[in-house]
Structure 1
């Protein structure tokens, strides 16, 4: 960790800081400070639950389901977290939460499944610091199908109408993901994680970067397939995800609250991406495992659209179109024979999107149909033993 004229301790992972300051001003130094910050409220809950055992987990889970007011015993750290969660920021529109995240709900399930979650995870893995932590915290390359299903389950619950209302499935799962992050952070530090080189594990910058992966990067992949959001749809997307960021423990609102559309999201993404190293062997291993898991899930469908090799080619083509040849090559994503055919897909999706948004009635019908399809898929989806974040909520163990 090095000292700078700005009296900051700069982790070794930070590159190009002078260039970042020249382009992004004080936000570059704020980024460096946030590399040393985890999630104080959630970190305190992990310590408290370890002290209290089953009683602590019961109080937390009851508070998430039914609210702080229903608790007879109020452990201080759990109480502080619930107070933060139950304080709805002034900028949150309750009507928005009732509607759900309408931008993602307007996307046909096939394209969302093929491109959005897959691209979000690929970009997450492209960070050497995040990839290092994930490979060190246990079997992610062999557990990829489970992690993929868990991520899709969480994102689906969090974006459904009413999903983030207090006590709803998306609200609870988002906070459970937050607490799982705190558990992983605590475990990594106990195992000797090199914070001087990599920053605090799952720090505020890493959370913000992942937040961008499920907004900018997911919808960049969808746009690459011809389904583009209007400016108004982008505003709605980021407004909704601001609240998800709040629930996930992003505490410095000034760091991400000025992101209101893809252009402003690109500015924050530029800062975060220009200051980290290139994808490494951990990034490539995680990317390959995730792609294989996605192909396996699609090939196992009752009536798969195409063969396993064709699905692999298609996903490779989507990722290369989304991220460009340079980053794709760094992640070990090969050229694909399916790439030329995506141009036809783009034209077809643009036409379909034009009809879907032709009128308010058409838009509403499309969203209603997609919600019904999601609900049907959720009823048939399962993860053995429940998602890891739910297991952690019940047992206090991260795996």
Structure 2
């Protein structure tokens, strides 16, 4: 179906389309199509889970860990998904996969935590459609700490050296996250989700937003405190996350070829400029997120600040990253730390330049990051939401 001028129909959530067309041309039509597309392979697997039950779920899990060849009797949809994720595209660098996302791993843990909460998840939650889905998943005061920990665990597993190799934890968890998206789509649709207004639940545009929330968005926040990436570092970051996008079932047209912040910002502008302002659901999620994140930061061994101090710093860096308009819409207040950010950024930039110049210093920062991420993976006990819910209606 298309409109009278040949363009795809626009869900009610899409705003500012005329201005967006001026900047992005036909990419707006691609966006409108992606708002109505889920993930056919993963959606078929969830339908197969509901039809066949435990045998289908067990076949998928065995195939993810041991490989497709180990489950020759896998149901058709499970087999098709395993075939897709096991087919490594030619643009994937085996050497980089073995090394992990060392650009992200080199970020000190406390800055990584701030960038994750104040950058990545804040941007995710600023989308009214995403917030609407997430608020419906449970009590925020209970789910926010667990959601923060589980999402951080997945990101850690996916970025560790060898984490995306077939059967490795990052590979398995990334496909499980993809199936959780499919489960959310099925559940929301069954419970009357208004696709004409909001688009398909967790559609391709939403997954592209998530992809940016682990590439451009956190490093935009980090740049504001002195952690600038060179052109080479940017290329390594995005090329690594191309493969994450592939495993998440993201349409290649939305990410392949993006290997620097400039091109990533073009996609981000297309997504953000056509999205409505954050709403009450967004504000509730961000408030719960910040309470959980600052409690974690204050509880870390050797923390230099209490939760109030971390909260003020989080407010300052989030406002700097997302801008005053979005921050106000999200209810993020002004912070006494804001005037200090230039001094903080200058000190961090100097320290980062020093690490680049001292032989072995950046390598040591990466190894410290690897140790911290492994510790984060170990913190979450029991099964995760994406492990619990992919097989349950």
| TM-score, reference length from structure 1 | 0.95
1:377 CA displacement:
4.2
Task: Call closer, same or farther: CA 1:138–1:397 in 2, change over 3 Å.
Answer: farther
1:222 aligns with: 222
1:166 aligns with: 166
Q: For residues 16 and 369 of structure 2, what CA distance do their matches in structure 1 show?
A: 43
1:21 aligns with: 21
- What is the RMSD of the two structures over their aligned residues, measured on CA atoms? 1.7
1:239 aligns with: 239
Task: Tell me if the contact between 1:135 and 1:141 (Cα under 8 Å) persists in the aligned partners.
Answer: no
Q: For residues 335 and 185 of structure 2, what CA distance do their matches in structure 1 show?
A: 37
C-alpha offsets along residues 322-355 of structure 1, whole Å, 9 cap, x if unaligned?
A: 1121211111000011222222221221111001
> When the two structures are aligned, how many residues end up with a matched partner?
393
C-alpha offsets along residues 170-217 of structure 1, whole Å, 9 cap, x if unaligned?
A: 000101000011001100000000000000000000000111111110
2:380 aligns with: 382
- Show structure 2 runs of 5+ residues with no match: none
2:280 aligns with: 281
Task: Tell me if the contact between 2:156 and 2:374 (Cα under 8 Å) persists in the aligned partners.
Answer: no
Q: For residues 111 and 350 of structure 2, what CA distance do their matches in structure 1 show?
A: 15
Please give the secondary structure, in 2, of the residue aligned with 1:147: helix
Task: Call closer, same or farther: CA 1:213–1:376 in 2, change over 3 Å.
Answer: closer
Q: For residues 7 and 274 of structure 1, what CA distance do their matches in structure 2 show?
A: 18
Task: Tell me if the contact between 1:141 and 1:285 (Cα under 8 Å) persists in the aligned partners.
Answer: no
1:11 aligns with: 11
C-alpha offsets along residues 87-146 of structure 1, whole Å, 9 cap, x if unaligned?
A: 000100111100000110111112111223431000011111111111123334541000
Q: List structure 1 runs of 4+ shifted beyond 6 angstroms.
A: none
* Superposed counterparts of 1:1-399, under 5 Å: 3-140=3-140, 142-251=142-251, 253-359=252-358, 361-379=360-378, 381-383=379-381, 385-393=382-390, 396-397=391-392
1:314 CA displacement:
1.2
Task: Call closer, same or farther: CA 1:289–1:2 in 2, change over 3 Å.
Answer: farther
- Show structure 1 runs of 5+ residues with no match: none
Task: Tell me if the contact between 2:45 and 2:77 (Cα under 8 Å) persists in the aligned partners.
Answer: yes
Q: For residues 118 and 154 of structure 1, what CA distance do their matches in structure 2 show?
A: 18
Task: Tell me if the contact between 2:12 and 2:196 (Cα under 8 Å) persists in the aligned partners.
Answer: yes
Q: For residues 331 and 242 of structure 1, what CA distance do their matches in structure 2 show?
A: 30
Task: Tell me if the contact between 1:317 and 1:335 (Cα under 8 Å) persists in the aligned partners.
Answer: yes
C-alpha offsets along residues 20-72 of structure 1, whole Å, 9 cap, x if unaligned?
A: 22211111101101111000000000000111111111100000000000114
C-alpha offsets along residues 299-332 of structure 1, whole Å, 9 cap, x if unaligned?
A: 3334432122112111111111211212111110
Task: Tell me if the contact between 1:2 and 1:10 (Cα under 8 Å) persists in the aligned partners.
Answer: no
Task: Call closer, same or farther: CA 1:4–1:361 in 2, change over 3 Å.
Answer: farther
C-alpha offsets along residues 251-274 of structure 1, whole Å, 9 cap, x if unaligned?
A: 2x1222131110000001111111
Please give the secondary structure, in 2, of the residue aligned with 1:200: coil
| TM-score, reference length from structure 2 | 0.96
